[in-house]
A and B are shown apart, each in its own frame.
Chain A
Amino acid sequence: MIAPKRQPRGSRTLVLLAAGALALAGCAPGSSAPPPAATPQASASAVRTDPASLGEVTLNVWDQEVRGGQAAQMEQLNTAFQAKYPNIKLKRTSRSFDDLNTTLRLALSGNEPPDVVEANNGRSSMGAFVKAGQLLALDPYAEAYGWKSRYPDSVLRYSRYSADGKLFGEGNLYGLPQVGEVVGLFYNKSKLTKLGLEPPKTWADFEAALAKAKAGGEVPMQFGNLDKWPAVHVFGTVQGRNVPAEQIGTLAFGRKGASWNTPENTRAAEQLVTWVNDGYFAKGFNGQGYDAAWQAFGKGQGVFLIAGTWLLADLEKALGDDLGFMLPPGATADAAPVATGGTGLPFAITAKSPHPDAAAAYIDFITNADAMKVLTETGNLPVADTGAQTVKEGPQQDVFTAFGTATEKNGLVPYLDYATPTFADTLGAALQDLLAGKAKPQEFLDTLEKDYKTFAESNG
């Protein structure tokens, strides 16, 4: 074997590499990004609201409406839009929630981002995009199309940010959602009847029902927390029974002036632990996937399921009229409703879009009164005009009543993971720790408090 001839080239390569690195250092990352201050503002008078007069336009739309009823409504509305305005061509890119979340960041920082995007409301998505000047403030369009009168302000606040992206829940409007959602109790009617139970009227009733289901050999509550975030909805629901709503709002929007270290939050955490110890959750829940869990509930495993209304279409298909839905009951039967909820992902317009008028017309088309009817027909929960829809008795009506009641009585509290850019992780991991008994309630709250305080202090 001939040994290869080696020459000491190493040092020269290093010098070359170093020179290359120096050349790169000339431009800081992000220096090609637009200055954040220059957020484009269209004025109400300049807004054109007749799509037919906009000429030949191609709109790139990125959405996450891939699941059953969501996909159906989107297709139906897009087809109707194309038929009505043939001059505007829609190019739809549809990705699952997770995929959209991760690709959107790259797409928006490019030079030709899509025109209309469905951006998650949270700080690390919409907040970061606003901060970077990548989204268009929609207030002039909201005025021109009358969005502000059709949508309750408690709903619009989930798409509001200050122009610098720091404050969440107030400021400019950056997106408009199609659907509403609220986390509540799905229940299996025939199982309740078999156990001799009624849908619970109070929180104590609910806990009694869980105990009775356990004694009756049923899975009291279906639950799968492998994906980390499902427990956030369960904890939020328990927290809503123990902590005043405005405190939850302050914590969840990441504003100063609240604390996780309160007796109320401790009680909520302890209640959750009690449920684990009493065996109310499905076995091995930390190792069960979210989808697998609700599918199991659809197959009749489990009496209750704490989940959002987005599962309605799929669960109704599986359980039919055996399915029931209700807002989480309060301490007394006539207590004001408190439920985690908000809107589906809002549709936003990118700042670099060359066709903001067409984009706004599209957003208006998929959220107007006719669109709300389409949403209802396809089994979705329209965020506006909810009371005006007629639906047949059964689970769908339960959901419409629940959401209508919650918005009417101002009972929606925001998702807890909105609080800080890292809070979804902090809370997800902390809840897994809490539920597995790896962390005591106090340690759990300390972890949350640290993340919340650090952010709220630095955010001013």
Chain B
Amino acid sequence: MARIMAGPPGEPRRVAYLYLLPAFVVYAAFLLYPIGRAVQISLYDWDGLSLGTWAGLDNYLAIVADEGLRASFVHALVLMVFYAGVPLVIGLGLAAILNHAKVRGLGFFRTVVFLPQVIAMVVVAVAWRRVYAPDGSLNGLLGALGLDSLTRGWLGDYTFALPAVGVVGTWFETGLVTVLLLAGMSRIPLELYEAARLDGAGPLREFFAVTLPSVRGEIAVALTLTVIAALRTFDLVYVTTRGGPGESTSVPSYEVYHRAFGLGQVGSAAAIGVTLTVIIFVISFAINRFADRRIS
């Protein structure tokens, strides 16, 4: 029997596209089509109900021109520090200690640290709203320490509302980052540490010379996940502050929701959503590029 073949074995054939088709159809229907549709809607002035009118790039220009919207993107960047930066620092320290000290009951600590991740964000937000309330436990604690002058309605304070929301993010993401890094560190061969020690490295030197470079991949993953979480923060702000006081905790995702469902400015909402998607894509691309290059 003659073998019907277009080329040498192992080379890609056209039929391969057929195998890709089922997955592609699902991907296209649930991801590419909605994205395309969102991009299209963002070019219209549409109230979500009646016929839209063509607006060109007006919605995008409005994002740049609108002071309040620009501020919301800045708030998202501030949240990045709390969601990604701080948890990374804490997570690195915590993981290094847990990994190094070989503490008894490591599994237990790992679970405790990871626990916030298991709780739904809305529940987290409701709980923290109580913590930050004027008669909440944070003020109670400050009062007990004799720091009454520091007590305030944290989420209603123009200076502290955004950091207060950020701290919730830190609390939420630290566990994830720690567990990721812990997994990475446990794979580092002990010989590397031994070699470093023979070369006379102290614990600090050991951390920077052996541990840190070895978990670069995990750092990239952790940063990607947390940065995306920071940029698309919605539920936390929705439940805790609704963007207030004034507009001091407004974030792009909240604006998307608010414009689409509250104000009926669907075109503008889609434009913000698309912009946010592009920003997230660029930042995570940069993070992964950075991690990749340093490995090779």
Contact = CB atoms under 8 A, between A and B. Distances in A.
Interface of A: 17, 20-21, 24-25, 28-31, 33, 36, 101-102, 105-106, 108-109, 124, 128-129, 131-134, 225-228, 282-289, 292, 296, 421-422, 425, 428-429, 432-433, 436, 438
A288 B242 contact: no
A17 B32 contact: yes
Given A17-B32, A287-B154, A288-B153, A228 B244 contact: yes
B245 A432 contact: yes
29 contacts: A17-B32, A28-B44, A29-B40, A29-B52, A29-B266, A29-B267, A30-B48, A30-B52, A31-B52, A101-B262, A131-B50, A132-B47, A134-B49, A226-B241, A228-B243, A282-B134, A284-B133, A284-B139, A284-B152, A285-B153, A285-B156, A288-B134, A288-B153, A289-B129, A292-B133, A296-B135, A425-B262, A429-B243, A433-B246
Contacts, number: 143
Contact of B51 (A20, A31, A286): A31
B262 A124 contact: yes
A124 B264 contact: yes
Contacts of B37: 24
B254 to A, nearest CB: 11
A102 B262 contact: yes
B51 A225 contact: no
Contact of A429 (B39, B54, B156, B244): B244
B41 interface: yes
B158 A287 contact: no
A420 to B, nearest CB: 10
Interface in B121-158: 129-130, 132-135, 139, 151-158
Contacts of A28: 44, 46, 51-54
B263 interface: yes
B264 A225 contact: no
Interface string B239-274: 011111111000000000110011110110000000
A258 B244 CA distance: 29
Given A30-B52, A102-B257, 17 more contacts: A28-B54, A29-B46, A30-B50, A33-B49, A109-B48, A128-B47, A226-B156, A226-B242, A284-B134, A284-B156, A286-B157, A286-B245, A287-B154, A287-B157, A289-B129, A425-B263, A432-B246
A282 B241 CA distance: 18
B93 interface: no
Interface of B: 32-33, 36-37, 39-41, 44, 46-54, 129-130, 132-135, 139, 151-158, 161, 240-247, 257-258, 261-264, 266-267
Contacts of A31: 51-52
Contacts of A286: 153, 156-157, 244-245
A430 to B, nearest CB: 8
A371 to B, nearest CB: 31
A289 B125 CA distance: 13
Contact of B246 (A133, A287, A288, A436): A436
Contacts of B246: 429, 432-433, 436, 438
Nearest to B132: A287
A132 B267 CA distance: 16
A54 B37 CA distance: 42
A21 B263 contact: no
Contacts of B241: 226
Among B51, B129, B258, B267, chain A packs the most CB atoms within 10 A around the CB of B51
Among A17, A30, A227, chain B packs the most CB atoms within 10 A around the CB of A30
Given A20-B36, A128-B264, A287-B157, A30 B46 contact: yes
Given A284-B153, A289-B129, A428-B244, A21 B49 contact: no
Among A101, A228, A288, A296, chain B packs the most CB atoms within 10 A around the CB of A288
Contacts of B261: 101-102, 105-106
A30 B53 CA distance: 9
Contacts of B240: 226
Contacts of B135: 288, 292, 296
B164 to A, nearest CB: 9
Contacts of A109: 48-49
A304 to B, nearest CB: 18
Contact of B152 (A33, A287, A425, A428): A287
B133 A287 contact: yes
Contacts of B266: 29
A150 B44 CA distance: 45
A428 to B, nearest CB: 7
Contact of B49 (A128, A283, A289): A128
B244 A421 contact: no
Contacts of A25: 40
A24 B36 contact: yes
Contacts of A228: 242-244
A375 B247 CA distance: 39
A105 B264 contact: yes
A29 B46 CA distance: 7
A421 B134 contact: no
A72 to B, nearest CB: 25
A21 B42 CA distance: 12
Given A29-B52, A282-B134, A421 B32 contact: no
A288 B156 contact: yes
